[in-house]
């Protein structure tokens, strides 16, 4: 009888890269869109790819922060379009929300803040607070989680600083009223103390977007 020899093969270990995970959607205006950079880094333009890299390094798998900023828009635009954005990304849980710079532009009447008001009060409808609450309610209404950011400091006269400060006080009210657990990254204080990180007095430069990414990263973790 012939002996049958069984050959054993040891397969090499093959490491399969994890599929990139879309973890966050960033909505807002041109600051969220990421214009006016003075550099072109390898990881892209705006704070979102930088934040994605920071989160990836922390978690150990690829995390993408999607940029859905639109230049020139106000909080009312965000309120009107949040439903379509939510429909576009049905599986994404977290939304990073930042509006207010264009609401405070002085080329037209600034959007009233709604500070201290609640639904039913005179002046609430059409206010920044009303618009932001609509965004928050829409996100929470489909089981997602909104995180808010403070409106950045604007060092030029095209923005009303008193209105920006009121909007940021509204952000504080909304965080409490909606039980949002993340403390908003304070872009106002940061850029007021680091005006050299603004390319044109409104939009961050490359260093400024690095700072925004780090502030979001600290807030989220």
Q: What is the pLDDT of residues 124-150, one digit of tens each?
A: 999 999 999 999 999 999 999 999 999
**Residue 186 CA: distances (Å) to CA of 110, 172, 181, 182, 214:** 21, 11, 15, 12, 11
Q: Flag whether pLDDT at 8 surpasses 70.
A: no
Flag whether 1 is in a domain: no
Q: What is the DSSP string of the chain?
A: -PPPPPP---PPP-PPPPPPEEEEEEEESHHHHT---S---TT-SSHHHHHHHHHHHHHSS-EEEEEEE-TT--HHHHHHHHHHHHHH-TT--EEEEE--TTTTBTTSPPPP--TT--TTSTT-TTSHHHHHHHHHHHHHHTT-EEEE-PPPP--STTB-HHHHHHHHHHHHHHHHHTT--SPPP-HHHHHHH-GGGBSSSSSB-HHHHHHHHHHHHHHH-
Q: Flag whether pLDDT at 15 surpasses 70.
A: no
- Closest by Cα among 36, 112, 48 to 75: 112
Flag whether 160 is in a domain: yes
Query: What range does the domain containing 169 cover?
Result: 21-220
Flag whether 7 is in a domain: no
**Residue 18 CA: distances (Å) to CA of 13, 56, 63, 92:** 15, 11, 10, 17
Q: Cβ of 67: how many Cβ atoms within 10 Å?
A: 20
pLDDT category of residue 213 using cuts at 50, 70 and 90: very high
Whether this model's pTM surpasses 0.85: yes
Token readout for 27 is 């909505």
Q: What is the pLDDT of residues 150-167, one digit of tens each?
A: 999 999 999 999 999 999
Q: Cβ of 56: how many Cβ atoms within 10 Å?
A: 18
Flag whether 3 is in a domain: no
pLDDT category of residue 5 using cuts at 50, 70 and 90: very low
Average pLDDT value for the chain: 89
- The per-residue pLDDT for 20 is 72
Flag whether 59 is in a domain: yes
- The per-residue pLDDT for 36 is 64
Residue whose token pair is 């600290």: 218
Flag whether 84 is in a domain: yes
- The per-residue pLDDT for 4 is 39
Give the range among 14-23, 73-82, 90-99 with minimum mean pLDDT.
Answer: 14-23
Domain count, the chain: 1
- The per-residue pLDDT for 54 is 97
Length of the chain: 221
Flag whether 5 is in a domain: no
Flag whether 4 is in a domain: no
Contact 159, 165 (CB under 8 A): no
Mean pLDDT of the region 159-177 = 97
Domain containing 74 — which CATH number?
A: 3.40.50.1110
The C-alpha angle with vertex 151 and arms to 94 and 63, in degrees rounded to 5, equals 30
């Amino acid at each position: 009888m012939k002996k049958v020899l069984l050959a054993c093969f040891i397969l090499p270990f093959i490491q399969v890269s994890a599929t990139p995970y879309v973890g966050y959607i960033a909505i807002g205006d041109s600051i969220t869109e990421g214009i006016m950079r003075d550099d072109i880094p390898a990881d892209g333009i705006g704070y979102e790819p930088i934040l994605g890299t920071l989160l990836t390094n922390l978690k150990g798998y690829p995390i993408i922060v999607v940029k859905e900023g639109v230049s020139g828009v106000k909080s009312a635009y965000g309120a009107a379009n949040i439903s379509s954005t939510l429909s576009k990304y049905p599986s994404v849980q977290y939304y990073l929300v930042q509006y207010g710079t264009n609401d405070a532009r002085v080329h037209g009447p600034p959007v009233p803040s709604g500070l201290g008001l609640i639904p039913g009060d005179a002046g609430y409808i059409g206010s920044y607070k009303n618009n932001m609450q609509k965004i928050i309610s829409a996100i929470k209404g489909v089981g997602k989680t909104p995180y808010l950011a403070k409106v950045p400091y604007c060092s030029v006269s095209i923005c009303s600083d008193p209105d920006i400060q009121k909007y940021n006080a509204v952000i504080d009210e909304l965080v409490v009223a909606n039980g949002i657990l993340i403390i908003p990254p304070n872009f106002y204080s940061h850029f007021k103390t680091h005006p050299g990180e603004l390319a044109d007095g409104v939009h961050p430069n490359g260093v400024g977007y690095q700072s925004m990414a780090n502030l979001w990263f600290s807030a989220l973790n």
